[in-house]
Structure formats: structure tokens, C-alpha cells
Amino acid sequence: MEKLICEIEALIYASEYGITPAEIKQVMETVMEKSLEEHEIHSILAEIERRYQQEDRVMELRMVNSAYQFLTKPRYYATINQLQAHRAKKKLSQAALETLAIIAYRQPITKLEIEQIRGVNCDYSVQRLLEKELIVIAGKSESVGRPILYGTSNLFMDHFGLNSVADLPKLKEIVAESNTIGEATN
């Protein structure tokens, strides 16, 4: 049993974006040449999760976007944040962040709709987001000319630790009252 736990732990660790229990089952059945029950996979995942809850571990096993992956524990975020600050070339511009936010909240959305919201051309931002695999082409619109529709990718979900788009903060939680126009009526 310990060998199986180590094999699955290695799979999770080596998986670039996370791995689903179904993928774990498929790989392990190929390696072991015998069938595994779903409950066995889940009990092994629970054991791995328990082991990584110990104080001396810097990572924990988490399920994000229906897949398991190792993530750094929150108490180390400040240290990791410093590393990220030094990797400026991977940062998104303000324009790209705005475009990404519009896509996340309004998906599926066309480039024209994004440009109407932002008020400027967004060709470059959309291209950069596609290159960084934070957005994907989600199909074509039924409107005239059948423009491309954009949506967020699994990498976007992984990067922001979301299981679904419903986990995005509600806009009213983000916008401060001081940013409103006009006077409140009682």
C-alpha cells in the first residue's frame, strides 16, 4: 500500500496543472496492470492530504478545478510573492489584466465586446493572454461575421485557485462605495 501511495504522490507532484482522480486511476491501472476502485484512490488521496497537513511540510494537497495538486501553504505566500516580484517579465500589463477581468466576468465574449467595454483596441492584450494560455477560444458567435468567442482557461482557474467561474469575487465586493457616482438616497 505504501508503494501505491508514493506512486500517486509522484503523479500529483509531476503533474503540471493538477491531476483528476480518473487520470490517477487510469495511469495506475496501466502501471499496475490491475483494476483499482474509485474509493481506493480517494482513500489514498485522503492519506496523502493528511500527511501534508503536518507543520513541517511547506506544501499541502489541494483540489482546484476538480484536479489535485500540491500547493504551497498560505503561511509561505509572502516569501513566494517576493520571488514572483522578481519575475517581472511574466507579469501582465494593466491593459492585459483589464482584458482578462472582462473576459473572466463576461465569458464567452467577442473581441469587439471587450473593446466596447474598454474603449480601446485590445488585439495585443488578447494575443498575449492567448500566448500565456490564460484564455482560450471558446467557439464562434452566432452574430454577423461569426466572431471568435473567448473564455478563461484551466490555467487561469489553476493560477487563481478557482474551481469554477462562480468562485470569482462578486463585482459589488470589489468596487468600493467611494467609487460610486452620485449621492445615495435614504
Strand partners, 150: 109, 137
- Assigned C-alpha cell, 45: 488521496
The pLDDT tens digits for 88-139 are 456 788 999 999 999 999 999 999 999 999 999 999 999 999 988 899 999 9
Domain for residue 82, yes or no?
Answer: no
The pLDDT tens digits for 55-85 are 899 999 999 988 999 999 999 988 888 777 6
User: Helix crossing, 94-106 with 111-118: angle to 10°?
Assistant: 120
What's the rounded mean pLDDT across residues 149-172?
Answer: 86
Same domain? 73 vs 97: no
Same domain? 143 vs 70: no
Residue 144's CATH number = 1.10.10.10
Q: Is the pLDDT of residue 186 over 70?
A: no
Domain for residue 185, yes or no?
Answer: no
Residues of the domain holding 108: 92-179
Asked if 126 and 108 touch (Cβ cutoff 8 Å), the reply is no
Single residue among 77, 109, 130 that ends a domain in this structure: 77
Number of separate domains in the chain: 2
Whether a cis peptide bond, with omega within 30° of 0, leads into 74 is no
Domain for residue 84, yes or no?
Answer: no
Q: Which residues neighbour 131 within 8 Å (Cβ) at sequence distance 6 or greater? A: none
The pLDDT tens digits for 23-59 are 999 999 998 888 888 899 999 999 999 999 998 999 9
